[in-house]
Structure 1
Amino acid sequence: MQVNPVDLSKVKTYSVWNRPTKVDYSLLAKVPNINLPLYEFFDCLPHLLKAEELMLAAQRIAEARLRQRGVIFMMGGHVVKCGLSPLIIRMMEERIITCVATNGAGSIHDFELACFGNTSEDVERGLETGMFGMVKETGETMNRIIIDGIRVGCGIGESLGRGLRHIAPRYVNLSILANAHRLSVPVTVHVAIGTDTIHQHPSCSGEALGAASMLDFRRFAAAVATLNDGGVIINCGSAVILPEVFLKALTVARNLGYPVKNFTAVNMDMIQHYRPMQNVVMRPTKTGGGTPISLTGHHEIMLPLLYAAIQARLRALVSVR
């Protein structure tokens, strides 16, 4: 079949000055001067795409801090493994973060770092010999603290934080759990039975784990209720557990009469997974108004960058007050 070429001489054109565009010269990056203060670096970023989203996230977190709105930081275990505990502790001290939620792995890595100054074993090596996750001290101590804690009405997060402060190991100053307890910042731990190494130990009590994690869920739902009108929820590195927990906690809060609308939802990870994008970023903001933000990159780079950007925005906001 013969196909005749189209006649391009008949196409319609129009002036560039009548064309809507997404990029113009005013949005371009500025060359940073390394001799100037760090906060001025952020003024050099282009006002485009993810640079704009980074600064928007920093702006919303800074505004939440000044307006005393909730800023909940949900984190997977890799936030600790990437060496970011001192940063999270500082953000709690500065009341930038008002609640921390983590999964079982996050609590284990934090606990080991506080007690031994190290964490994160070679999984393949331990799996081959059947000794993966079988460190005696971690399993026995954490399980005992959780069991003792629920007896006096403490969830996993509070129990471990209080327990670490009581034990006072050498590196306790590096513990998010212990420092959250010191600062009276709520910290909740959300476990799925069988997913964490301490569940393999004979000292583990499923009854205590379930009751303590359930209490933490209820406390987390109370924290979610503080997000209304300017709060921020941040999910950093949890692909399944915490996004699911957040969605249910948000439902509970709204069901009990808390509006929980018009908040900012931020997901940070090295790749954007389906569940965090839907359950943290998209569905909650679509159903209650708010701002969805996704920032892709490695935790050890992105979190320090976000913290510095928050400080820059706080400086700017305070200066105009």
Structure 2
Amino acid sequence: MAGKYEKFDVSRIEVLPLEQREHDLDLSIIKEMVPSDTVREPFAAVARNMVEAKARGAANVFMMGAHAIRSGIQPYLIDLMERGYISCLALNGAGIIHDYEFALIGQTTESVARYIRDGRFGLWRETGALNDVINEAAKRGEGLGECVGRHILESGLPHEDISLLAAGYRLGVPVTVHIGIGYDIIHQHPNFDGAASGRCSHTDFLYYARVLQSLQGGTVSSFGTAVMGPEVFLKALSMVRNAARQRGEAVDDFTTMVCDLKELPETYRTEASKSDPNYYFRPWKTMLVRTVEGKGGSWYVRETHANAFPELWTAIGRAERGE
């Protein structure tokens, strides 16, 4: 039985080759791993927690928005994955697009202002081919990040060495992707199957929740994700705590860190009042207060991705050496 309302006819869409797109970013943004000159206390404290968590088998979870990939910090993250410091890396849907385009052509990102004028924005053939990968993966029960990482490796894409998804698949580190239908450019394409993408992303959500079962004594770090990160974490943590409670256990002692550009007061470990617009900044109330009430602790750092990841990476190295 068809729905009540008339739908847009996706067969009318013209999809163009990526070679016709002007790209705003290329491989020149990828950073070399250079130690930071200074390490601030929030990074030092979280790094010590991460080293201790790894030693005891507790989870260290990273969550981030796609702009982090566009800042060129991939080598730092891949190195931390290889050294066992990331138990799960959670991305939004745009994360797989930038990661895949970098791996495929060494370039990514288009001008929304330029291409939205005539409806070319996001409608690029090679990027849309991700839908075919995802549609097949849904039949196999794979996760969204899992299937794209596998595809990048098996296809031998030219720049797979800077792909977070490929690194995760190679190392057995879940890179989970949490989508909202209509958020990402591949959702515009005629070959997009909402059921398939939803199934793969749900699988990733369950992968993510499984990792959180080892969060006691661990860490969760959030980089530039104001909605996906805190909301996915909140729901998965509730699931994990529900199951733990029935076993007479608890997941209530871990450390969170949020890195973002928003200015927060020094009292960020106390929730803002509902009359304060900052109350609606989810990372504050969710990551820094509500989920760590009791035994847990939290840190907030106002910093760019380009500076935050080198500083945390440096801090972890110092913590390893006991400095």
TM-score over 0.5 (shorter chain): yes
Q: Which residue of 74, 80, 84 corresponds with 1:85?
A: 74
Q: Which residue of 232, 240, 243 corresponds with 1:256?
A: 243
Q: Distance in 2 between matches of 1:277 and 1:207?
A: 33
Three-state SS of the structure 1 residue aligned to 2:108 is: coil
Three-state SS of the structure 2 residue aligned to 1:227 is: coil
Q: Distance in 2 between matches of 1:202 and 1:155?
A: 21
Report whether the alignment pairs 1:245 with 2:245: no
Give the conservation status (yes or no) of the 8 Å contact 1:270–1:299: no
Three-state SS of the structure 2 residue aligned to 1:268 is: strand
Residue of structure 2 equivalent to 1:111 = 100
Q: Which residue of 175, 189, 195 corresponds with 2:177?
A: 189
Residues 191-237 of structure 1 deviation map (CA, whole Å, 9 limit, x = unaligned): 00000000000010001011111111111111111111x20001111
Spell out the pairing of 1:13-162 with structure 2 (5 A cutoff): 51-139=40-128, 141-162=129-150
Give the conservation status (yes or no) of the 8 Å contact 2:181–2:194: yes
Higher helix share: 1
Residue of structure 2 equivalent to 1:176 = 164
Q: Distance in 2 between matches of 1:106 and 1:89?
A: 15
Three-state SS of the structure 1 residue aligned to 2:213 is: helix
Higher RCO, 1 vs 2 (CA within 8 Å, ≥6 residues apart): 2
Three-state SS of the structure 2 residue aligned to 1:316 is: coil
Give the conservation status (yes or no) of the 8 Å contact 1:80–1:106: yes
Report whether the alignment pairs 1:217 with 2:205: yes
TM-score by length of 2: 0.80
Residues 122-151 of structure 1 deviation map (CA, whole Å, 9 limit, x = unaligned): 111011121111111001x21011111111
Residues 93-144 of structure 1 deviation map (CA, whole Å, 9 limit, x = unaligned): 00011111100011111111111101111111011121111111001x2101
Cα distance, 1:68 vs structure 2: 2.4
Report whether the alignment pairs 1:291 with 2:297: yes
Q: Distance in 1 between matches of 2:250 and 2:108?
A: 40
Q: Distance in 1 between matches of 2:261 and 2:100?
A: 24
Three-state SS of the structure 2 residue aligned to 1:235 is: strand
Three-state SS of the structure 2 residue aligned to 1:128 is: coil
Letter of the structure 1 residue corresponding to residue 71 of structure 2: C
Q: Distance in 2 between matches of 1:38 and 1:237?
A: 22
Report whether the alignment pairs 1:275 with 2:293: no
Residue of structure 2 equivalent to 1:6 = none
Residues 25-49 of structure 1 deviation map (CA, whole Å, 9 limit, x = unaligned): xxxxxxxxxxxx969x65xx6xxxx
Give the conservation status (yes or no) of the 8 Å contact 1:76–1:106: yes
Letter of the structure 1 residue corresponding to residue 200 of structure 2: A
Report whether the alignment pairs 1:304 with 2:310: yes
Q: Distance in 1 between matches of 2:286 and 2:196?
A: 28
Mind listing any 5+ residue stretches in structure 2 that lack a counterpart? 1-33, 264-277
Q: Distance in 2 between matches of 1:156 and 1:38?
A: 33
Rg larger for: 1
Cα distance, 1:59 vs structure 2: 1.4
Letter of the structure 2 residue corresponding to residue 145 of structure 1: V
Give the conservation status (yes or no) of the 8 Å contact 2:218–2:255: yes
Residue of structure 2 equivalent to 1:232 = 219
Three-state SS of the structure 2 residue aligned to 1:212 is: helix
Three-state SS of the structure 2 residue aligned to 1:96 is: coil
Q: Distance in 2 between matches of 1:207 and 1:126?
A: 28
Letter of the structure 2 residue corresponding to residue 237 of structure 1: G
In the alignment of these two chains, the number of paired residues is 270
Residue of structure 1 equivalent to 2:31 = none
Three-state SS of the structure 1 residue aligned to 2:134 is: helix
Residue of structure 2 equivalent to 1:19 = none
Three-state SS of the structure 2 residue aligned to 1:292 is: strand
Mind listing any 5+ residue stretches in structure 1 that lack a counterpart? 1-36, 46-50
Identity of aligned residues (%): 38
TM-score by length of 1: 0.81
Spell out the pairing of 1:191-206 with structure 2 (5 A cutoff): 191-206=179-194
Cα distance, 1:52 vs structure 2: 2.2
